[in-house]
């Protein structure tokens, strides 16, 4: 992509003869955002804050249609988004009833009775350039180690329901973790709306019923609302959710369906009251007969949902399964949501770019959807186009989005496929299905050598794969031969010291609920 902020890419005649401010306004790309869910308001808030001289923002949303309103668990990247927009973390957390999140606890995935935490952080620390898990595997073979989670600050703190923001010294093991948020999804978009409108974003309430296209280019020229209003733009960001009004219906970007590997296509969601006592600083995912169930503790309630495959379970069974599993009666009637796993073959076509559910969806097992919206927005801002978008601009954007989706897809498939469960047709299906070659190669490499395939960029780096592989019972037969070099007794002392240091640091942290009371 090219960065061309400084250049006036628009028709020079529009600038001629105007005063400075008018010229400035005329130079700005008119961005129309269709949709006011999390994706729409994240886009509008980011553009209004970070590109006010390059773009004007006009967002259209419809209360009648509403938003998805789920999406309560996030990844640590959201912190960078909030910070970059100059949002006060405490205000954001208070407004959205947010809690801190240190990772995800998976139960019953590899086998019924299993549990492990996939933390935002590392396991141990490398020695002589070799990742910790190689040494751990060597000593595990001799029966001389604790579970790998005991060498992770994020895991140990999560299990003790303790939390404090990590300090700045990255070399200190006590700071070897990241954190994200769990929040009330219905409150995030309104919070961002206030931020965006305060920075000049315009908003229209109404339903888009027609889309006008430039007959010569095929680009979208304007959208028309039910009451006849017509809103013109240079760049249209489709944040219309699963409807994919512009990218799907108008630009006809093809949909790549991934349900053969990710068969869950529905969810029922219902909140319940928080139990007395502590608030876990993690999201829980519990495998169920035909999918899995989330549990997300917020400050004022617990969010729950059962994500399932409609080919293997009826909606009524899912509702009953969810309600039966709740720790307290539901606070609302369980809501049914339908979705498909997959993505658009191109997220940006012509002058329409899609962000959020309009661009694709991978089920929420690893809380990746808001991250994907954030990643697309970051791409857009960093390479903000003038009015002459080139094929190279679009190709660069689409290639990045594709790579992110593909990597997440593989990581999610691993959670299903790496199982010994044979207690239901759903688990039989995912255990025995043919997986993408790229994932099969990664798993074979891990099994033999304990190596994790490296990415140059993207989500889920080595510690994440190690957490899920080991958590779901795929233990490699080999390890890096350099891990055999240290003398065993010395290695065992180092491992014991590492665990003791982590346990002490976690014990010194405040209780999560108490920390929330002082900080959010």
The residues facing 203 across adjacent strands are 59
Tokens standing for residue 494: 């180092």
Q: Which member of 58, 77, 97, 101 is catalytic?
A: 101
Residues in region 449-508 near ligand FAD by CB under 6 A:
none
Q: Minimal CA–CA distance to 182: which of 518, 512, 514, 462?
A: 512
Residue selected from 10, 25, 65, 381 as contacting ligand FAD according to rule CB under 6 A = 65
Nearer to ligand FAD, 161 or 367 (CB): 367
Question: Alpha-carbon distance 107 to 77, whole Å?
Answer: 25
Residue selected from 72, 95, 108, 404 as contacting ligand FAD according to rule CB under 6 A = 72
Residue selected from 67, 192, 253, 341 as contacting ligand FAD according to rule CB under 6 A = 67
Q: Is 375 in the site for ligand FAD (CB under 6 A)?
A: no
The answer to whether 264 and 309 are in contact (CB under 8 A) is yes
Decide the pairing of beta strands 352-354 and 235-238.
parallel
Nearer to ligand FAD, 68 or 164 (CB): 68
The number of residues in the chain equals 520
Q: Is 288 in the site for ligand FAD (CB under 6 A)?
A: no
Backbone phi, psi, residue 60, to 5° = -115, 130
Residues in region 214-253 near ligand FAD by CB under 6 A:
239-241, 243, 245
Question: Alpha-carbon distance 410 to 412, whole Å?
Answer: 5
Nearer to ligand FAD, 62 or 123 (CB): 62
Nearer to ligand FAD, 37 or 263 (CB): 37
Q: Is 40 in the site for ligand FAD (CB under 6 A)?
A: yes
Tokens standing for residue 56: 């004007």
454 burial class (0-12, 13-18, 19+ CB within 10 angstroms)? exposed
The span of 29-37, 212-220, 309-317, 345-353 binding ligand FAD (CB under 6 A) equals 29-37
Residues in region 330-349 near ligand FAD by CB under 6 A:
337, 339
Q: Minimal CA–CA distance to 369: which of 454, 242, 208?
A: 242
Sketch the per residue contact string, 152 through 191, with ligand FAD: x for CB under 6 A, - otherwise: ---------------------------------x------
Q: Minimal CA–CA distance to 467: which of 225, 114, 17?
A: 114
Q: Is 98 in the site for ligand FAD (CB under 6 A)?
A: no
The answer to whether 34 and 223 are in contact (CB under 8 A) is yes
The answer to whether 147 and 137 are in contact (CB under 8 A) is no
Tokens standing for residue 360: 């694709």
Nearer to ligand FAD, 8 or 381 (CB): 381
Q: Nearest approach, Cβ of 377 to ligand FAD (angstroms)?
A: 12
Q: Nearest approach, Cβ of 114 to ligand FAD (angstroms)?
A: 22
What Rg value do the Cα atoms of the chain yield, rounded?
A: 24
Tokens standing for residue 220: 């979208």
Cα-Cα-Cα-Cα dihedral sign, residues 147, 150, 153, 157: positive
Question: Alpha-carbon distance 290 to 310, whole Å?
Answer: 8
Tokens standing for residue 417: 């496929």
Catalytic residue flag (residue 101): yes
Q: Is 59 in the site for ligand FAD (CB under 6 A)?
A: no
Residues in region 348-367 near ligand FAD by CB under 6 A:
356-358, 364, 367
Q: Nearest approach, Cβ of 490 to ligand FAD (angstroms)?
A: 43
- Using DSSP's 3-state secondary structure scheme, residue 387 falls into coil
Q: Nearest approach, Cβ of 270 to ligand FAD (angstroms)?
A: 12
Q: Is 313 in the site for ligand FAD (CB under 6 A)?
A: no
Residue selected from 1, 31, 32, 39 as contacting ligand FAD according to rule CB under 6 A = 39
Count of residues of this chain found to bind ligand FAD when the rule CB under 6 A is applied:
39
Tokens standing for residue 483: 């891990």
The span of 65-73, 310-318, 402-410, 413-421 binding ligand FAD (CB under 6 A) equals 65-73
With a CB cutoff of 8 Å and minimum separation 6, the contacts of 314 are: none
Q: Is 305 in the site for ligand FAD (CB under 6 A)?
A: yes
Residue selected from 71, 334, 471, 476 as contacting ligand FAD according to rule CB under 6 A = 71
**Counts of helices then strands in the chain (DSSP H, E):** 16, 21
Residues designated as active site: 101
- Binding positions for ligand FAD, rule: CB under 6 A: 34-40, 60-62, 65-68, 70-74, 185, 207-208, 239-241, 243, 245, 267, 305, 337, 339, 356-358, 364, 367, 369-370, 373
């Amino acid at each position: 992509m090219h960065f061309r902020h400084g250049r006036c890419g628009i028709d020079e005649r529009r600038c001629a003869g105007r005063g400075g401010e008018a010229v400035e306004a005329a130079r700005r790309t008119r961005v129309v955002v269709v949709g006011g869910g999390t994706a729409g308001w994240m886009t509008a808030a980011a553009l209004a804050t970070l590109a006010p001289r390059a773009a004007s923002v006009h967002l259209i949303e419809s209360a009648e249609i509403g938003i998805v309103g789920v999406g309560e668990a996030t990844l640590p990247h959201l912190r960078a988004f909030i910070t970059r927009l100059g949002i006060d973390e405490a205000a954001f957390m208070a407004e959205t009833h947010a809690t801190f999140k240190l990772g995800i606890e998976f139960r019953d995935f590899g086998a019924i009775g299993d549990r492990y935490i996939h933390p935002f952080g590392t396991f141990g620390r490398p020695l002589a350039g070799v990742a910790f898990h190689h040494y751990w595997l060597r000593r595990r073979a001799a029966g001389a180690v604790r579970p790998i989670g005991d060498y992770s600050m994020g895991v140990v703190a999560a299990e003790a329901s303790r939390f404090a923001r990590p300090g700045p010294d990255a070399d200190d093991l006590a700071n070897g973790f990241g954190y994200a948020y769990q929040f009330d999804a219905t409150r995030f978009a309104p919070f961002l709306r206030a931020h965006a409108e305060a920075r000049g974003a315009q908003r229209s309430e109404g339903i888009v019923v027609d889309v006008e296209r430039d007959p010569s280019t095929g680009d979208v020229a304007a959208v028309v609302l039910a009451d006849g209003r017509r809103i013109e733009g240079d760049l249209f960001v489709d944040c219309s959710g699963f409807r994919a009004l512009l990218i799907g219906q108008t630009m006809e970007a093809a949909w790549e369906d991934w349900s053969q590997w990710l068969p869950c296509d529905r969810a029922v969601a219902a909140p319940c009251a928080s139990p007395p006592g502590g608030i876990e600083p993690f999201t829980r995912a519990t495998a169920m007969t035909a999918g899995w169930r989330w549990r997300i503790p917020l400050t004022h309630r617990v969010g729950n949902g059962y994500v399932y495959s409609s080919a293997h379970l009826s909606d009524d069974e899912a509702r009953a399964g969810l309600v039966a599993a709740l720790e307290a009666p539901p606070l609302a009637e369980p809501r049914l949501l339908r979705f498909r796993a997959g993505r658009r073959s191109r997220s940006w076509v012509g002058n329409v770019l899609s962000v959020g559910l309009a661009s694709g969806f991978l089920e929420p097992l690893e809380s990746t959807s808001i991250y994907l919206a954030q990643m697309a927005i970051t791409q857009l801002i960093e390479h903000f186009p003038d009015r002459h978008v080139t094929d190279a601009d679009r190709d660069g954007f689409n290639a990045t989005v594709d790579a992110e989706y593909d990597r997440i897809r593989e990581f999610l498939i691993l959670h299903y496929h790496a199982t010994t469960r044979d207690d239901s047709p759903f688990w039989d299906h995912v255990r025995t299905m043919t997986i993408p070659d790229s994932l099969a190669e990664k798993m074979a490499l891990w099994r033999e050598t304990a190596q994790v395939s490296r990415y140059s960029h993207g989500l889920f780096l080595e510690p994440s794969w190690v957490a899920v592989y080991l958590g779901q019972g795929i233990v490699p037969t080999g390890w890096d031969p350099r891990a055999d070099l240290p003398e065993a007794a010395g290695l065992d002392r180092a491992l014991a010291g590492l665990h003791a240091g982590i346990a002490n640091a976690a014990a010194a942290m405040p209780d999560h609920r108490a920390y929330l009371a002082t900080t959010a």
